[in-house]
Amino acid sequence: MDERLALDAQGIVRGARFIASPNCDRRPAGARIELIVIHAISLPPGEFGGAGVIECFTNRLDPAAHPYYQTIRALKVSAHFFVRRTGELIQFVPAARRAWHAGASEWHGRTRCNDFSVGIELEGTDTQAFTDAQYEMLARLTQALALAYPIQDVVGHSDIAPTRKTDPGPCFDWARLRQSLAGTF
């Protein structure tokens, strides 16, 4: 186990930079964290390294800063984790709480995936390859989460909301991730 990514009782990862998002709430009584959902995001779209995602997840996005921001100004969204292209890990919501990342969704006949999942956003787009540093951090984080919770599967946002979402997209290397997680589940 990677001690740098150990989770405390609330599901805060020791090695992550924590920036609290207000866009979360309690999980339903008895809900178990069984699913990891992989997303891709960049704000502004196709631009990396800026503060847009952090500002969006903390409700501080300036709608005048970029034309695209006008279209998402009312969104109240978050994810548990954000992995930058450098591999930096930022956490917005403790895993014990429900982040607002999946929206209308279904996995194996169960709806409301936010209730029983952890959302991990990768800084990226559907049309660009992700970095080695991101795959390495994603694998390490997934393994840490699987040690802490009864994780059953890792899926893309497109797998649980196929009519609405396409991320993490065709450039995401599922075979690479599965190989790095061999024996984890």
DSSP string, 18-32: E---SSEEEPPTT--
Rounded CA-CA distance 145/151 in Å is 7
* Phi/psi at 177 (5° precision): -65, -50
Residue 183, classified by CB atoms within 10 Å of its CB into exposed (0-12), middle (13-18) or buried (19+), is exposed
Q: Is 121 a catalytic residue?
A: yes
Q: Would you state the structure tokens that stand for residue 35, as one six-digit string?
A: 């699913």
Q: Which residue is catalytic, options 106, 121, 123, 136? A: 121
Catalytic annotation, residues: 121
